[in-house]
Each structure stands twice: as C-alpha cells, then as structure tokens.
Structure 1
Amino acid sequence: MNLSALSDSLKPLNLRSCLIQQQGRLIFEHYRDQRTSSEIAKINSCTKSILSALVCIAMDQGQLSGPSAPISEFFPQLSRDADTRKQQITIGQLLTMSAGFRWTEFGGANSFPKMTRSSHWVNYVLEQPLAEEPGTRMEYNSGISQLLSSIVVQASGMSTARFAEQYLFGPLGITEYEWETDPQGIHTGGYGLKLRPADLLKFGQLYLQQGVWENSQIISGGRVACSVQPALPAEPPRHGGYGWHWWTDSITGDTRTGGSAAVDYYYARGYAGQYVYVLPELQAVAVVTQDNRRGKNNPPPEVFREYIVPQLMNPSGL
C-alpha cells in the first residue's frame, strides 16, 4: 500500500480524519489538524449502527427476545390503532427499516424535521400511517431508530447511553462522548452521538472481529453476522443493500492475481461524510470523517471508492 500516495491524494480534500487499520494494525492516520484526533464530533447517522449493536447486545442478554418479537410489547398503544397491521411490526423490521410507515426523511412531507419539532417523538412515529405491508420494502426512517432506542430503555431499565457505557463503550475503552436526547429524555437513535475518529475505528474493528474485543465476546458472532447481511435492497437512489442499521455493498478492483473480483463490505454512514467501513475479505477497517455539506451539484468525493480501496487492493500492499 502506497501510503505517501494516499496521503498526497487526501490533502486537498480537507477531510477531518481518515484512519485505516488492516489485520489489527493501524497503517494510516490522517487528521486535518492536531485537535481533530482528540475532539469528539458529530457522527450523525452512524449513530444508527451503534444503536444496532446495543439492540444485539440486549438480545444476547435475553432482555429482548429476538428480531421476531412484535414491538407492540413495548408500545401497547398500537393495540388501539385502527390499522391492526401495526401490531405485527417486529423489532427485526425496525432494524431493517421495513416497518412500512409512510415516511419522507427530508423533502416532501419532511417527516424527520416534523418529528424533531414534535413534543413526543416516539408517539409521532407510531402515529404515522402505514404506506405498505411491514417487511416488504426498506424506507430510510430515523424515527424508527428512535423507537429502537426507546425499546432498549424499556428492555434494560436504563438509558440508552448508560446501557452503551456498560456493555459497549466501557469494554471498548470509549470514555468521551456526547449524546442528544428527545423531549422524554430518550437518547436519539438515528443521530446525535459525538465520538472521536479513533473510537469509530474501534467500533468497526469490533465488527471485523465478529464481536470479540480483547478476548471477550461483546456481541455474539451470530448477531454480528445477521446485522451486516443485506436483508433488503437499499432504498433508491442509494445502491447496495441494508441490514440491521448497517449498509452493505461491493466493489470491484484488482486482486493480487491481477484479475478483478467483487469485494463485499458493510458500513455505517452519517450525514456530511461520516463513515465506518468494514472489509472482512481484506481484514480492514476504514474511518472517514468530514464536515463538508456540499450541494447536489458539488458532491463530496467518494473517498473510500476512489482513494482508499484502490490502495487496499494494490498488490504491492498485500
């Protein structure tokens, strides 16, 4: 891997950070300035993948019975809804964002901003009509993540952040963070978490290691595997698939034999360029953080596909 060439390529992009770890060893580390390495910053919707890990841990502990459990166990008001299909929505359908609620994250009905302006976010989400049969199609919905955060609270008897401190952040050595809450004090499931880039790298490495950290099984390997498998196609115009609050995709590039083959990967993704990529076949994890909010006519570069993957798949670096 030509690290100097990668460094030269990234300098003009004004990234906050870029970290790459392969086979458990940090091989590349770039920060915009000295402060960035130690500062916590918004990870936006990467929060969703952190929440997914907490749901998996709660399932492992038996505090949640599993993905087939109906969410009406936690939201009894659904039994009074005129649409009886809502009573059959499962935790797994929340994780894959296929609950069927009519929802436009941004644009159109602007469901997400309306939720954040409401006095009770969970009730706002549950009151939305169903647009289709639960389980049939992925529709990006940060409100669903808020339902999952509420479920973690109800199942564990502690706040989502406290649960994370005890069972995820603590074992990973994550000591500094900030996490927003809704009007009821439930930590935001779809966004609102601030972490350091190095802590995002730890999180990705935990998944690469099938839930094992320093010889302890933090998340069961089976739950990790379920989380990162594409359950449904991603909602257009996004490509790839969607798992349990993780995105999935593949990329074709040169292999050590000189041919080309698809390499599967999965990733956490947050607004304004926050990413955690996990490439099991290459035993690699990459973190990219940015704060460039470019418009549609001037999108940020595909740093991972254009710069990082070609270097990881360069035979000279294998």
Structure 2
Amino acid sequence: MDTSKLSAALAPYQLRSCLISSEARLVFEHYRETGTAGELAKINSCTKSILSALVCIAMQKGLLPQPETLLAEFYPRLRQDRDPRKAAITLEHLLTMSAGFNWTEFGGRNSFPRMTRSENWIDFVLEQPLSHNPGEHMEYNSGVSQLLAALLAEGTGLPVARFAESELFGPLGFEQYEWEQDPQGIHTGGFGLRLRPVHLLRFGQLYLQRGQWESRQLIAPELVDRSTQTAILAEAPRRGGYAWHWWTDSYTHSGDAAAKTELQYYYARGYGGQFIYVLPKQETVVVLTQDHRGKQKRAADVFRESVLPILTAT
C-alpha cells in the first residue's frame, strides 16, 4: 500500500482519524490533531456492532437463548397485542433490524428521538405498530438495539457495560470508555458509547481473527461468521446488506490481468463518519472517524472512493 498516496487522498476530508492494520500490523495511522489518539469520542451507531459481539458472547455462554427464540418469551405482552404478528418476532429479527416495526429513525412519530424523550424506552418500542411481517424487510431501528441491550442485561444479570468489561473490553485492553444509559439504567444499545480510535481497530481485528485475541477465543468462530453474513438486503437508499448489527457490502476492482475481482467486506457504521471496516480476504481492518469539522460532507464515501482504490492497487 502506498501510504504517501493514501495520505494525499485523505487530506481533503479532514478526518479525525484513520487507522489501517494489515496482517495484524499497524501500517497507517493518521490523526488530525496530536491529542486525538488518547481522546474518547462518540462512536454513535458503531455501538450496535459492539452490542452484537456481546450478544454473541452471551449466547455462547448460555446466558441468552438461541437467535430463533421468540421475543415474547421475554415480553409475554406481545402475545396479547392487537397485532398477532408481534408474537412471531425473534431475537434474530432484532439483530437484523427486520422485526417489522413501523419506524422512522430520525423523524416522525415512531422514531429514535421520540424514544429518547420517553420515560421508558422499552415500552415505547414494544408499543410501536408493525408495518411489515417479521423477517421480510429491514428498517433501521435503534429501538430494537435497546431491546437487545435490555435482554443482555437480564440474561447476564449484569449491567451491559460491566459484562463488556469482563468479556470484551478487558481482554482487548480498553482502559477507558464512557457509555450512556436509558431512564431505567440500561446502557444504550444503539449509540452512546465513547471509545478511542485504537479501540475500534482492536475490535475490528478481533473480528478479522474470527473472535480470537491473543490466546483467548472471546467469540466462537461460527458466531463471528454467522453474525457478519448478509441476512437481509439493506433498505434504500443504503447499499449492500445487513447482518447482526453489522453492514455488509462488496467492491469490484480490476485484478492483475484486468480481470474483475469482487472484494467482500463488512463494517460498523456510526453517524457523522465513524466506521470500522473488516476485509477478511485482505487481512485488513480500516478505521475512519470524523467529527463534522470542515466542509467535507461525504464521509460515507471516503472508504470506497479514496481508501479501497489504494488498498486494491496492484
């Protein structure tokens, strides 16, 4: 990889940070300001992928049931709901954002902002009407992430952050973090976590290594694989697919003999330009963070427009 060419390509974006590891070795590290490396910053919806990891760990430990389990096992009220389809929602439907709730994430009556202004976020989500049958359509929904966080706390008997410290943050060496909570004290499942850029890189590396960190298998390889495979196509205008709180996509580029090669990858995505990209075949992890400074408004395209062409150059 031509690092000088990459630095030049990234310069117009005014990124807060960009870290790239290849074959478990840090090969590129950029911070806009010298203090950024040690600062905690919001990762927004990248929190969802951290939550996915914690759910996988809880499942493998038998603290949460299998993904096919009905949500009504935890919330029996769903069996008495006016809409009988709610009784068919499973944990996997929550993980793939396909529970069917009529939800407009950033506006309207059924939305993330209205949830955060309610007295009980879990009740707010469960009371929302369905617009689709469970499993047939993806609708981005931080409310279902909060349901998963609540189930995780109930299943483990620990606050979500405490479980994370024991099973994920501690082993990965996350010395500091901050995590918001809802009015009932449940840590936010869809946002609200603050980490350092290097923490995001380690988390991505854990997934690249199929759940193994140093001598410990933190997440079972089969759960890493299942949780990062496309389960449902993303809703427009987003591209690619969705897995268990991970996005999936592909990139076509020319090989050595001008043959087209499709590169598969998956990634965590947070509002405002926070990303963790995992490229298994390339043994590469890319972290991008941004904070709205400058006039660059196309953070979601930085990876495909400026990073991937250089990573795949021959």
Normalised to the residue count of structure 1, the TM-score between the two structures is 0.95
1:9 equivalent to 2:9? Answer: yes
Could you tell me how far 1:84 is from its partner in structure 2?
2.4
Deviating runs (4+, > 4 A) in structure 1? none
Could you tell me how far 1:170 is from its partner in structure 2?
0.8
The residue correspondences of 1:194-213 to structure 2 (distance < 5 A) are 194-213=194-213
Which residue matches 2:309? Answer: 310
Which residue matches 1:218? Answer: 218
Which residue matches 1:109? Answer: 109
Secondary structure at the aligned position of 1:302 is classed as helix
Secondary structure at the aligned position of 2:68 is classed as coil
Could you tell me how far 1:108 is from its partner in structure 2?
3.5
Could you tell me how far 1:204 is from its partner in structure 2?
0.4
Aligned-CA RMSD value: 1.6
* Conserved? CA contact 2:14–2:294, under 8 Å: no
Could you tell me how far 1:217 is from its partner in structure 2?
0.7
Which residue matches 2:153? Answer: 153
Which residue matches 2:67? Answer: 67
Which residue matches 1:190? Answer: 190
CA distance in 2, matches of 1:16, 1:293: 8
The residue correspondences of 1:36-185 to structure 2 (distance < 5 A) are 36-109=36-109, 111-185=111-185
* Conserved? CA contact 1:47–1:190, under 8 Å: yes
CA distance in 2, matches of 1:38, 1:294: 22
Which residue matches 2:285? Answer: 285
1:271 equivalent to 2:289? Answer: no
- Name the amino acid aligned to 1:164: A
Per-residue deviation, residues 74-115 of structure 1 (Å, max 9, x unmatched): 223323322222122110000000001111112343511110
CA distance in 2, matches of 1:108, 1:128: 12
Secondary structure at the aligned position of 1:124 is classed as helix
Flag structure 1 segments of 5+ consecutive residues without an equivalent: none
Secondary structure at the aligned position of 2:261 is classed as strand
* Conserved? CA contact 1:95–1:245, under 8 Å: yes
Per-residue deviation, residues 247-275 of structure 1 (Å, max 9, x unmatched): 00000113344432110000000000000
CA distance in 2, matches of 1:39, 1:298: 23
How many equivalent residue pairs?
314
Normalised to the residue count of structure 2, the TM-score between the two structures is 0.96
CA distance in 1, matches of 2:297, 2:92: 36
Secondary structure at the aligned position of 1:282 is classed as coil
* Conserved? CA contact 1:294–1:300, under 8 Å: no
Per-residue deviation, residues 265-299 of structure 1 (Å, max 9, x unmatched): 0000000000000001111000000012899x953
Structure 1 window deviating more from structure 2 (75-84 vs 137-146): it is 75-84
* Conserved? CA contact 2:274–2:290, under 8 Å: yes
Structure 1 window deviating more from structure 2 (236-245 vs 297-306): it is 297-306
Per-residue deviation, residues 130-167 of structure 1 (Å, max 9, x unmatched): 11111111100000000000000010000010010010
Could you tell me how far 1:34 is from its partner in structure 2?
1.0
CA separation of 1:166/1:256 partners in 2, compared to 1, >3 Å: closer, same or farther?
A: farther
CA distance in 1, matches of 2:199, 2:258: 35
CA separation of 1:90/1:294 partners in 2, compared to 1, >3 Å: closer, same or farther?
A: farther
Identity %: 58
CA distance in 2, matches of 1:152, 1:300: 32
Secondary structure at the aligned position of 2:79 is classed as helix
Flag structure 2 segments of 5+ consecutive residues without an equivalent: none
The residue correspondences of 1:222-301 to structure 2 (distance < 5 A) are 222-292=222-292, 298-300=297-299
